[in-house]
Amino acid sequence: MNLREMANGSFSAGGDDTAKRLEEMEKFYRLMEVHYNNFQQEWEEERKKIYS
């Protein structure tokens, strides 16, 4: 059984809440990944300025 099956209620009665939590977590980490990648790119540019 995978997480999506569990979240869709095939594992427990609280499936709706679990599905919402998984959706929230997925959206949160996708957004954090965007911010992290932007930070990394900006930091690489700043670091080049320091060492050039």
Q: Would you state the torsion angle of the CA atoms of residues 39, 42, 48, 51, taken in this order, to the nearest 10 degrees?
A: -60
Tens of pLDDT, residues 18-42: 889 999 999 999 999 999 999 999 9
| Ramachandran region, residue 9 (left: φ > 0; alpha: ψ -120 to 50; beta: rest) | left
Examine the pLDDT at 6 and tell me if it is beyond 80: no
Where are the chain's structural domains?
A: 3-51
Examine the pLDDT at 43 and tell me if it is beyond 70: yes
Percent of the chain beyond pLDDT 90? 62
Residue 10 or residue 24, greater confidence? 24
